[in-house]
Chain A
Amino acid sequence: MKWQSLSRTRRVELAMPWLVTLSMVLIWEIAVIAFKVPSFILPGPWEVWQTLVRFHGPIWTHALHTLFTTVVGFAIAVVFGVLLGIAIGSSRLVYNGLYPVLIGFNSVPKVAVVPVLVVWFGIGTVPAVITAFMISFFPIVVNVATGLATVEPELSDVLRSLGAKRRDILMKVGLPRAMPYLFASLKVAITLAFVGSVISETVAANEGIGYLMIQASSRFQIPLVFAGLVVIAALGIVMYVLFALLERRFTGWATRSNQPTTIATGS
Chain B
Amino acid sequence: MTHPFVHLHKVGLTYAGADSGAGTAALEQCTLGVAKGEFVAVVGPSGCGKSSLMKLVTGLVPPSEGSIEVAGREVDGPLKIVGMAFQNPTLLPWRSTLANVMLPLEIVEPHRSRLRSDKAAYVAKAQRLLATVGLTGFDDKPPYQLSGGMQQRASLCRSLIHEPELLMLDEPFGALDAFTREELWAVLQDVWLQQRFTCILVTHDLREAVFLADRVLVMSNRPGRIVSDHTVPLPRPRTLATTFEKDFVDITQRLREEISLVRQGKSPVPVHEVAA
- The reply to whether the CB of B142 lies closer than 8 angstroms to some CB of chain A is yes
Instruction: Name the residue of chain A whose CB is nearest to the CB of B143.
Output: A257
- The reply to whether the CB of B249 lies closer than 8 angstroms to some CB of chain A is no
Chain B residues positioned under 8 Å from A179 (CB to CB): 94
Within 8 A of B (CB), among A207-256: 251, 253-254, 256
Interface string of B103-142 (1 = CB under 8 A from A): 1101111000000000000000000000000000000001
- The reply to whether the CB of B196 lies closer than 8 angstroms to some CB of chain A is no
Chain B residues positioned under 8 Å from A259 (CB to CB): 93
Please list the residues of chain A having a beta carbon within 8 angstroms of any beta carbon in chain B. 152, 154-155, 157-164, 168, 172-173, 176, 179, 251, 253-254, 256-259
Which secondary structure dominates where chain A touches chain B?
helix
Chain B residues positioned under 8 Å from A251 (CB to CB): 94
CB of B93 within 8 A of CB of A254, answer: yes
Instruction: Name the residue of chain A whose CB is nearest to the CB of B144.
Output: A257
CB of B78 within 8 A of CB of A163, answer: yes
**A181 CB, min distance to chain B CBs, angstroms:** 13
Instruction: Given the known inter-chain contacts A154-B88, A157-B55, A162-B80, please indicate yes or no for A257 contacting B107, CB distance below 8 A.
Output: no
CB of B162 within 8 A of CB of A162, answer: yes
- The reply to whether the CB of B79 lies closer than 8 angstroms to some CB of chain A is yes
| A196–B16 CA distance with the chains assembled, in angstroms | 46
Chain A residues positioned under 8 Å from B35 (CB to CB): none
Instruction: Name the residue of chain A whose CB is nearest to the CB of B158.
Output: A158
| A160–B142 CA distance with the chains assembled, in angstroms | 23
What are 16 residue pairs bridging A and B, where the CB atoms are less than 8 Å apart in the complex? A152-B88, A155-B90, A157-B84, A158-B86, A159-B103, A161-B59, A162-B104, A162-B108, A163-B78, A164-B107, A251-B94, A253-B93, A254-B94, A256-B142, A256-B144, A257-B142
CB of B84 within 8 A of CB of A253, answer: no
Please list the residues of chain B having a beta carbon within 8 angstroms of any beta carbon in chain A. 55, 58-60, 78-80, 82-84, 86, 88, 90, 92-94, 103-104, 106-109, 142-144, 158-159, 162, 168
| A154–B91 CA distance with the chains assembled, in angstroms | 11
Chain A residues positioned under 8 Å from B104 (CB to CB): 162
Chain B residues positioned under 8 Å from A172 (CB to CB): 92, 103, 106-107
Max chain B Cβ within 10 angstroms of own Cβ: one of A159, A163, A254? A163
Chain A residues positioned under 8 Å from B159 (CB to CB): 158
Q: Number of A-B pairs whose CB atoms are under 8 Å?
A: 69
Instruction: Name the residue of chain B whose CB is nearest to the CB of A158.
Output: B84
Chain A residues positioned under 8 Å from B143 (CB to CB): 257
CB of B86 within 8 A of CB of A163, answer: no
Instruction: Given the known inter-chain contacts A161-B82, A257-B142, please indicate yes or no for A154 contacting B107, CB distance below 8 A.
Output: no
CB of A163 within 8 A of CB of B88, answer: no
CB of A162 within 8 A of CB of B93, answer: no
CB of A157 within 8 A of CB of B60, answer: yes
* Cβ 8 A contact of A176, one of B58, B80, B92: B92
Instruction: Name the residue of chain B whose CB is nearest to the CB of A159.
Output: B107
| A63–B60 CA distance with the chains assembled, in angstroms | 56
**A255 CB, min distance to chain B CBs, angstroms:** 10
| A211–B108 CA distance with the chains assembled, in angstroms | 58
Instruction: Given the known inter-chain contacts A159-B107, A161-B82, A162-B104, please indicate yes or no for A154 contacting B90, CB distance below 8 A.
Output: yes
Instruction: Name the residue of chain A whose CB is nearest to the CB of B170.
Output: A154
CB of B108 within 8 A of CB of A163, answer: yes
| A28–B206 CA distance with the chains assembled, in angstroms | 72
**A88 CB, min distance to chain B CBs, angstroms:** 22
Chain B residues positioned under 8 Å from A159 (CB to CB): 103, 107
Chain A residues positioned under 8 Å from B108 (CB to CB): 162-163
CB of A163 within 8 A of CB of B142, answer: no
Instruction: Name the residue of chain B whose CB is nearest to the CB of A254.
Output: B93
CB of B60 within 8 A of CB of A160, answer: yes
